[in-house]
Amino acid sequence: MAAAAAASSSSTASPKTTTERRGIPGAEFVEDVEIYLSQTGLDVNSALAFLQERLQQYKLVEMKLLAQQRDLQAKIPDIEKCLDVVATLQAKKGTGEALIADFEVSEGIYSRARIEDNDSVCLWLGANVMLEYSCEEATSLLRKNLENAKASLEVLIADLQFLRDQVTITQVTIARVYNWDVHQRRIRQTSTSSTAKDSIT
Amino acid sequence: MQQGTGASETEVTWEDQQNINKFGRLNNRFHELEDEIKFAKEAIDNLEDASNELILTDEEVVRFQIGEVFAHVPKEEVETRIEEMKEVSSNNLEKLEEEKESVVAQMAELKKVLYGKFKDSINLEED
């Protein structure tokens, strides 16, 4: 088994882990369980406890990232709807007719509005702030927000993928440490029962 | 999906770990795609219903939802808009279905590789 361990550790010279990504610690890949346990100086139960705790931490971070992802995924269609409205208003500008729209005054109550030809719209920027922009400025601001949201979402998705990989590595390591321990116990058991047999005979 | 390695002496190499990780990522993407495909199909159904209603109605001006308000839009323009939206939605659906097929194929490949090495020690099925 020592020869196999040596062979497996020499075959892959590529970097085995990224140490961390944006605050998420990377999971160390274990080439050989015995070497890992002697390097860290932990016994099996401590190693398993440490790995389980790591797994819990990963799960917490995963939930946080998933919540952020849901928020972003809701924000993007909203921005697209705003762009649609501004585009419609701009299209109406040329024709000279007013846009008549039914809007929600309160839940379940709608009223009719007559939107005259004008060059500006007001955009809600958050934090109780609303600014007036020309249609073109509004379109470019909304487009920029949309780009930022989509870029943030991509980064978030990459973070989640990295995190899930670390979770998988940790789960596999836990299984291997546990199995190694079971294997060791079995070996010890067969050796003690054979020495018992020898002493009886 | 469980990814346990059983009580055998098979060594897990870095390459194996990378394959297992890739399988996990693909499986997640597969479930996401299934949800997205469900939404896309619902959207197309809604657009179909909308265009059917349009044909039946005899009003000249239709209240069409743009953003959060319902704008009064002439019927022909609404028809055009709905056609465009249906076009976009069905292209989107096609792309999603293609991606799903590719993901399923990659997962099948990885299953062969991983079951080949680990046999019973690994479980790659849905629970």
Of A12, A82, A101, the CB nearest to B15: A12
Domains in chain A (CATH in brackets) are 43-93+136-184 (1.10.287)
Could A29 and B71 be called an inter-chain contact, meaning their C-beta atoms sit closer than 8 Å?
Answer: no
Measured between alpha carbons, how far is residue A62 from residues A27, A156, A165, A170 in Å? 15, 11, 11, 14
Could A103 and B25 be called an inter-chain contact, meaning their C-beta atoms sit closer than 8 Å?
Answer: no
Which tokens is B4 given?
């346990």
Place of tokens 């500006």: A120
Encode pLDDT of A147-194 as tens digits.
Answer: 999 999 999 999 999 999 999 999 999 999 999 999 999 999 988 877
Of B3, B5, B69, the CB nearest to A103: B69
pLDDT, averaged across chain A: 86
- Type and span of the H or E element at A15: none
Percent of chain A with pLDDT over 70: 89
Encode pLDDT of A22-39 as tens digits.
Answer: 888 888 888 888 888 888
Interface ipTM: 0.81
Q: Which residues contact B40 (CB under 8 A, 6 or more apart)?
A: B89, B92, B93, B96
Q: Which residues in chain B touch residue A81, judged by CB atoms under 8 angstroms apart?
A: 66-68
Work out the pLDDT band at B46, boundaries 50, 70, 90.
Answer: very high
Q: Which residues in chain B touch residue A70, judged by CB atoms under 8 angstroms apart?
A: none
Q: Is pLDDT above 90 for A116?
A: no
Of B9, B14, B71, the CB nearest to A12: B14
Instruction: Say yes or no: A95 contacts chain B, CB-CB below 8 A.
Output: no
What pLDDT does residue B27 have?
95
Q: Is pLDDT above 80 for A58?
A: yes
- Return residues 112-151 of A near B (CB < 8 Å): 113
Work out the pLDDT band at B67, boundaries 50, 70, 90.
Answer: confident
Work out the pLDDT band at A13, boundaries 50, 70, 90.
Answer: very low
Could B28 and A110 be called an inter-chain contact, meaning their C-beta atoms sit closer than 8 Å?
Answer: no
Could B21 and A165 be called an inter-chain contact, meaning their C-beta atoms sit closer than 8 Å?
Answer: yes
Could A4 and B11 be called an inter-chain contact, meaning their C-beta atoms sit closer than 8 Å?
Answer: yes
Q: What is the DSSP letter of B9?
A: -
Q: Is pLDDT above 60 for A92?
A: yes
Lowest mean pLDDT among A86-100, A171-185, B47-61: A86-100
Could A172 and B68 be called an inter-chain contact, meaning their C-beta atoms sit closer than 8 Å?
Answer: no
Of residues B122 and A4, more confidently modeled: B122
Closest Cα in chain B to A15: B14
Confirm if A112 and A101 have CB atoms less than 8 A apart.
yes
What pLDDT does residue A119 have?
84
Work out the pLDDT band at B40, boundaries 50, 70, 90.
Answer: very high
Q: What is the DSSP letter of A16?
A: -
Work out the pLDDT band at A15, boundaries 50, 70, 90.
Answer: very low
What's the pTM value of the predicted model, to 2 decimals? 0.80
- Return residues 39-68 of B near A (CB < 8 Å): 63, 66-68
Confirm if B12 and B5 have CB atoms less than 8 A apart.
yes
Q: Is pLDDT above 60 for B5?
A: no
Of A99, A164, A171, the CB nearest to B71: A99
Q: Which residues contact A89 (CB under 8 A, 6 or more apart)?
A: A99, A115, A121, A135
Q: Is pLDDT above 80 for A18?
A: no
Closest Cα in chain B to A168: B21
Could B70 and A14 be called an inter-chain contact, meaning their C-beta atoms sit closer than 8 Å?
Answer: no
CA–CA min distance A199, chain B (Å): 30
Q: Which residues in chain A touch residue B66, judged by CB atoms under 8 angstroms apart?
A: 81, 84-85, 88, 101
Q: What is the DSSP letter of A104?
A: E
Q: Mean pLDDT across the stretch A94-121?
A: 88
What pLDDT does residue B7 have?
46
Of residues A88, A148, A143, A94, the one with CA closest to residue A121: A88
